[in-house]
């Protein structure tokens, strides 16, 4: 079996877990590109990285390279997997672009691929015929309790991993990508027909923003209050959060239906978030009777903490972190994109807009957003189905 050279860009939870899992496979070389000095220093000390599995067992790995140098990380890679948040992707792509090989196909993808990664990669990597752009619908496993460079806890895994390529990619490239990802993840990889099937499955942007709005928005029980302790995203999800989640999901589904009809694209794979979660986690969910019960009783979601920081001015307790990716990624690159896509089809999405407007005010304005690379002429371009 040929040596497969994998570069992972991102030293967070997903990057750590994927790197460890890949190193369990034969003939797979793994480079990790990160600016987290703790991860780099642990590697230099030859500290093994460990994944703590749900059954209590442990996997150990020593990566081939851990570096902040983009050239060292990606110069000979066969596949590059970008796991940094959407708001960090533009800079990551700019950093690695000059160092990608031109002598063989390079598969550059994002996990997850939401927030219009295909459009971003196309805009950032022009005139690169050997680059194949792809994205995965969701992370293969939940991951939490990261100790950088040392350990990560693996949560529930998906039964199927859905992958799409940019509309420009030929069938030969799609087949080779599927073969490569199957080698890394096993026989659970399913290729989708259109990247929009990923873009229009905005799980985190809708899920995270609705729960935060339900907690601390104008009608939330913690509006302008301090939490006495850190809380879990899902097991402590408020009823109001689940309500807005379902309404926003309905609007997202309406957008999907309009795009499918107007562009003549089969988007039947795009299901409601409730259905997505149930199909992804199955028996790990104890009570599937409502959206609230699904969120609260999904064992894969246990122990996942909401993004909180200590309250300011030496006050006891915690507040939702304005600088978390729940805002910088999910709002600025997720909800912003959905609202703009809806506008271009003259579709009203009042629940999504309400949560977006409140979220932007809470985070004190947008610094960057998906509009920086969303094609201005879409859907009236050759990349309409991208």
When pLDDT is averaged across residues 364-380 and rounded to a whole number, the result is: 95
pLDDT above 50 for 385: no
- Return the structure tokens found at 31: 């480079």
Label residue 383 by pLDDT band (50, 70, 90): very low
pLDDT in tens, 234-274: 999 999 999 999 999 999 999 999 999 999 999 999 999 99
Strand order in the sheet with 106-110: 65-67, 28-33, 4-9, 79-82, 106-110, 131-136, 161-165, 189-191
pLDDT in tens, 131-162: 999 999 999 998 989 999 999 999 888 889 99
Q: Any idea which residue has 């969303």 for tokens? A: 374
DSSP state, residue 158? -
Q: φ, ψ for residue 176 (rounded to 5)?
A: -65, -40
Q: φ, ψ for residue 145 (rounded to 5)?
A: 50, 60
DSSP state, residue 222? T
How far, in Å, CA of 259 to CA of 181, rounded? 29
- Return the structure tokens found at 229: 């302790």
pLDDT in tens, 55-93: 999 999 999 999 999 999 999 999 999 999 999 999 999
Label residue 300 by pLDDT band (50, 70, 90): confident
pLDDT in tens, 89-118: 999 999 999 999 999 999 999 999 999 999
pLDDT in tens, 327-341: 999 999 999 999 999
- What's the chain's average pLDDT? 95
DSSP H helical ranges for the chain: 13-22, 37-44, 70-74, 89-96, 117-124, 171-185, 196-199, 203-216, 239-263, 273-281, 291-297, 325-328, 336-344, 350-362
pLDDT recorded at residue 180: 98
Strand order in the sheet with 49-52: 58-61, 49-52, 151-157, 141-147
Pairing relationship of beta strands 49-52 and 151-157 according to DSSP bridges: parallel
pLDDT above 80 for 384: no
CB 256 within 8 A of CB 267: yes
Nearest to 329 by CA among 227, 190, 240, 202: 202
Q: pTM of the predicted model, to two decimals?
A: 0.91
How far, in Å, CA of 264 to CA of 268, rounded? 12
Number of neighbours of residue 347 by Cβ within 10 angstroms = 15
- Return the structure tokens found at 299: 């064992």
Nearest to 80 by CA among 26, 124, 44, 144: 124
Label residue 381 by pLDDT band (50, 70, 90): low
pLDDT recorded at residue 215: 96
When pLDDT is averaged across residues 289-309 and rounded to a whole number, the result is: 93
Nearest to 167 by CA among 202, 137, 138, 132: 132
Residue 112 contacts by C-beta under 8 Å, 6 or more apart in sequence? 135, 136, 137, 138, 139, 198, 203, 204
pLDDT above 70 for 386: no
CB 67 within 8 A of CB 73: yes
What domains can be seen in the chain, in order of their start residue?
4-192 (3.40.50.720), 200-372 (1.10.1040.10)
Nearest to 20 by CA among 61, 77, 81, 72: 61
- Return the structure tokens found at 328: 């910088």
pLDDT in tens, 165-209: 999 999 999 999 999 999 999 999 999 999 999 999 878 999 999
When pLDDT is averaged across residues 293-309 and rounded to a whole number, the result is: 93
The whole-angstrom distance between residue 282's C-alpha and the CA centroid of its chain comes to 21
């Amino acid at each position: 079996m040929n040596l497969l050279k994998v570069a992972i860009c991102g030293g967070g939870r997903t990057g750590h877990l994927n790197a460890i899992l890949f190193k369990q496979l034969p003939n797979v070389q793994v480079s990790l590109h990160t600016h987290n000095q703790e991860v780099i220093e642990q590697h230099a000390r030859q500290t093994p990285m460990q994944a703590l599995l749900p059954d209590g067992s442990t996997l150990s790995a020593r990566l081939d390279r851990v570096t902040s140098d983009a050239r060292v990380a990606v110069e000979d890679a066969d596949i590059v997997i970008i796991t940094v948040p959407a708001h960090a992707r533009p800079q990551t792509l700019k950093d690695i672009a000059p160092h990608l090989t031109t002598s063989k196909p390079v598969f550059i993808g994002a996990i997850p691929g939401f927030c219009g990664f295909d459009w971003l990669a196309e805009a950032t990597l022009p005139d690169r015929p050997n680059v194949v752009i792809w994205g995965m619908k969701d992370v293969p496993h939940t991951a939490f309790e990261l100790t950088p460079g040392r350990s990560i806890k693996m949560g529930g895994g998906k039964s199927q991993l859905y992958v799409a390529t940019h509309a420009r990619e030929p069938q030969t490239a799609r087949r080779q990508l599927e073969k490569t990802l199957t080698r890394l993840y096993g026989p659970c990889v399913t290729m989708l027909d259109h990247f929009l099937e990923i873009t229009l499955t905005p799980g985190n942007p809708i899920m995270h923003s609705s729960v935060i709005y339900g907690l601390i928005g104008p009608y939330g029980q913690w509006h302008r209050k301090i939490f006495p302790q850190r809380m879990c995203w899902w097991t402590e999800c408020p009823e109001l959060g689940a309500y807005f989640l379902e309404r926003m999901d309905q609007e997202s589904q309406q957008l999907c239906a309009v795009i499918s009809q107007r562009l003549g694209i089969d988007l039947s794979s795009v299901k409601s978030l409730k259905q997505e979660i149930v199909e992804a986690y199955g028996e790990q969910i104890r009570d599937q009777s409502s959206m609230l019960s699904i969120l609260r009783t999904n064992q894969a979601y246990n122990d996942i903490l909401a993004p909180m920081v200590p309250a300011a001015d030496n006050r006891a307790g915690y507040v939702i972190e304005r600088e978390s990716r729940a805002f910088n990624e999910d709002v600025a690159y997720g909800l912003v994109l959905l609202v703009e896509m809806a506008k271009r089809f003259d579709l009203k999405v009042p629940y999504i807009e309400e949560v977006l407007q409140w979220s932007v005010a809470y985070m004190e304005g947008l610094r960057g957003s998906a509009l920086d690379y969303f094609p201005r002429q879409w859907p009236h371009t050759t990349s309409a189905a991208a």
